[in-house]
């Protein structure tokens, strides 16, 4: 298999009178596959000066080394430099804008609206799209990703005075969901005619975040509030470091005002995602800074091409960049887990159970009957050997539920083992020797695309898979599509019913009735 990647890039341009104090970072590491089966790899490098402005592509000299590891970083294969494609990135990006509309900014709403709309106009004029997320006591999506200027103007005009707090982390996650909901596709590996078309089709994206305060009211602080239920997801800072769309880490461009903001957090978030953090002293600077950030995508170096490899699946892609100018060198390395496409394989039998099995409303014998029938239907053999996996994205919500499943299966006589999902995701080696895998996260979506692809391949090879948890129809942050595995289409149905918050059994009681009595999975339930 050929993987195409640019390894050595030299772009020379005008020389400034004084050496530039610059920052260079790699972002948007991504993979694809050509019509002929070549695996394509790409990345972008953004260079900015001391003021935060983008250094035009063509100034200075950039070189890039690329290597890939299939053994969790124990060894890396260096990508040969005999084939590459590099160009200055075209303008046009999809930008999710997160605006702090909490009480501290009530007197400055006109400035906030003006700056926001100028950023919207800038992105739309360059051929991109924008979504808007408002952050106050709870975060909410004002507009999905669109190029409809009138709709976005109406959303900006909808920013209003409020006595609210700051659900900042929820807002950033929801912003990523507006990107994921629009960009994630059902097919496992997008196909392109060539490396050049892969570069041209790159989904340039980012999150532009503005706040003047400190996170103090995201869902993890108000899970039990009927007045402000949020969307029920416990979003914490570490979650923001891993937001992705189609396997690509979403760059976060943070703009902060005042000393109340945790500057180190915002700087860390920007650094980890390949974005930037800019601090301003007054809201009058906001329009200028938004304009600067809007220029980034038209100034980046875009790298893509193909490399030789006979392997596929989850891998670590390492990109080392060196930017030289007037005798000075800026160097950096970025590693990211990517999925080298193996081709789309249809799963065998997959059962998805949108329930927590240990819910007190489900008798233990009923849970056992459902578990056994699900496994026997999905598995290629009778009475399979089972591995129960607890998703690491459980946030301690009903975290004992997978252990309950293990115990119930053991009581029924199954040969069953339990393992916590590694942070880097499942591997095929972990599943070797098992007839079926029970993947459980009772309260949150799965967050590892690597695990999804390993489970998909395990199923396609004849193994049985059970996906269990009330959010198994979606991925965390809508960062990748789980429908190829579950064959379920995700629809957001909220957390409230009849004016009450029903998430986590709060506020209301509800009855679940099992339909389709003739199917072996639910027979007799």
Please give the Cα distance from 289 to 271 (Å, whole number): 18
Dump the DSSP string for 71-119: STTS--EEPPSSS-EEEEPPS--EEEEEEE-SGGGGGGHHHHHHHHHHH
Of residues 503 and 454, the one with the higher pLDDT is: 454
- Dump pLDDT digits (tens) for 459-469: 988 999 999 99
CATH of 94-297, one of 3.40.50.1820, 3.40.50.410, 3.40.50.2300, 3.40.50.300: 3.40.50.410
Region 291-306: what's the mean pLDDT?
A: 80
- Dump pLDDT digits (tens) for 144-198: 999 999 999 999 998 887 766 778 888 999 999 899 877 665 344 456 777 777 7
Of 341, 297, 62, the residue nearest 185 (C-alpha): 341
The answer to whether 11 and 47 are in contact (CB under 8 A) is no
Per CATH, domain 350-490 is 3.40.50: yes
- Dump pLDDT digits (tens) for 492-501: 666 555 555 5
- Dump pLDDT digits (tens) for 42-83: 888 888 888 888 888 878 888 888 888 888 888 998 887 666
Assigned token pair, 286: 């906001």
- 508 pLDDT higher than 70: no
The answer to whether 8 and 63 are in contact (CB under 8 A) is yes
CATH of 2-89+300-340, one of 3.90.1690, 1.10.3470, 2.60.40, 1.10.12: 2.60.40
pLDDT at 432: 94
What is the rounded (10 degree) CA torsion for 289, 291, 293, 294? Answer: 160
Query: Domain spans of the chain?
Result: 2-89+300-340, 94-297, 350-490
Mind spelling out the 3-state secondary structure of 287-320?
HHHHHHHHCHHHCCEEEEEEEECCCCEEEEEEEE
The alpha carbon of 306 is separated from its chain's Cα centroid by a whole number of angstroms, namely: 25
Region 450-460: what's the mean pLDDT?
A: 90
* Three-class DSSP category at 376: helix
Instruction: Enter the DSSP assignment of 428.
Output: H
245-265 burial code (b ≥16 CB/10 A, e <16): bbbbbbbbbbbbbeeebbeeb
**Do 94-297 and 350-490 agree at the fold level?**
yes
- Dump pLDDT digits (tens) for 313-336: 778 888 888 888 888 888 888 888
First to last CA, the chain: 48
Upper half-sphere CA count for residue 27 (Cβ side, 13 Å): 32
């Amino acid at each position: 298999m050929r993987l195409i990647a640019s390894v050595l890039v030299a772009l020379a341009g005008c020389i400034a009178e004084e050496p530039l104090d610059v920052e260079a970072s790699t972002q948007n590491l991504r993979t694809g596959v050509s019509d002929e089966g070549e695996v394509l790899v790409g990345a972008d490098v953004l260079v900015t000066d001391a003021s935060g402005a983008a250094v035009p592509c063509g100034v200075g000299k950039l070189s890039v080394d690329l290597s890939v590891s299939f053994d969790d970083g124990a060894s890396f294969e260096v990508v040969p430099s005999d084939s590459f494609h590099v160009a200055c990135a075209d303008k046009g990006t999809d930008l999710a804008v997160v605006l702090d509309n909490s009480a501290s900014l009530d007197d400055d709403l006109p400035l906030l609206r003006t700056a926001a709309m100028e950023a919207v106009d800038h992105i739309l004029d360059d051929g991109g799209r924008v979504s808007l997320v408002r952050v106050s006591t709870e975060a909410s999506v004002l507009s999905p990703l669109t190029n409809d200027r009138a709709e976005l103007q109406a959303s900006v005009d909808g920013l209003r005075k409020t006595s609210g707090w700051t659900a900042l982390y929820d807002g950033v996650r929801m912003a990523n969901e507006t990107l994921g909901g629009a960009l994630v596709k059902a097919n496992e590996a997008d196909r392109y005619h060539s490396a050049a078309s892969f570069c041209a089709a790159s989904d340039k994206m980012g999150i532009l975040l503005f706040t003047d305060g400190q996170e103090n009211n995201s869902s993890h602080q108000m899970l039990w509030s009927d007045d402000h239920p949020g969307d029920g997801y416990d979003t914490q800072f570490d979650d923001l470091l891993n937001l992705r769309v189609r396997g690509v880490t979403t760059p976060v461009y943070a703009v902060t005002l005042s000393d109340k903001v945790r500057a180190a957090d915002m700087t860390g978030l920007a650094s980890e995602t390949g974005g930037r953090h800019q601090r301003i002293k007054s809201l009058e600077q906001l329009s200028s800074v938004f304009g600067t950030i809007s220029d980034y995508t038209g100034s980046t170096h875009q790298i893509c091409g193909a490399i030789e490899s006979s392997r596929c699946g989850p891998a670590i892609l390492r990109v080392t960049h060196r930017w030289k100018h007037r005798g000075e060198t800026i160097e950096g390395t970025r590693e990211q887990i990517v999925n080298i496409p193996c081709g789309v394989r249809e799963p065998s039998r997959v059962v998805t159970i949108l329930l927590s099995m240990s819910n007190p409303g489900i008798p233990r014998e009923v849970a056992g009957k459902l578990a056994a029938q699900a496994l026997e239907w999905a598995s290629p053999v009778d009475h399979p050997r089972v591995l129960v996996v607890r998703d690491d994205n459980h946030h301690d919500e009903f975290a004992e539920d997978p252990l309950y499943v293990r115990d119930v299966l053991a009581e029924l006589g199954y040969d069953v083992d339990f393992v916590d999902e590694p942070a880097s995701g499942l591997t095929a080696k972990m599943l070797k020797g098992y007839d079926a895998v029970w993947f459980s996260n009772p309260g949150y979506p799965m967050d590892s695309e690597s695990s999804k692809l390993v489970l998909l391949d395990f199923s396609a090879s004849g193994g049985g898979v059970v996906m269990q948890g009330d959010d198994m129809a979606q991925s965390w942050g809508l960062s990748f599509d789980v429908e190829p595995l579950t064959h379920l289409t995700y629809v957001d149905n909220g957390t409230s019913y009849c004016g009450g918050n029903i998430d986590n059994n709060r506020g209301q009681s509800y009855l679940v009735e099992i339909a389709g009595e003739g199917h072996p999975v639910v027979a007799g339930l």
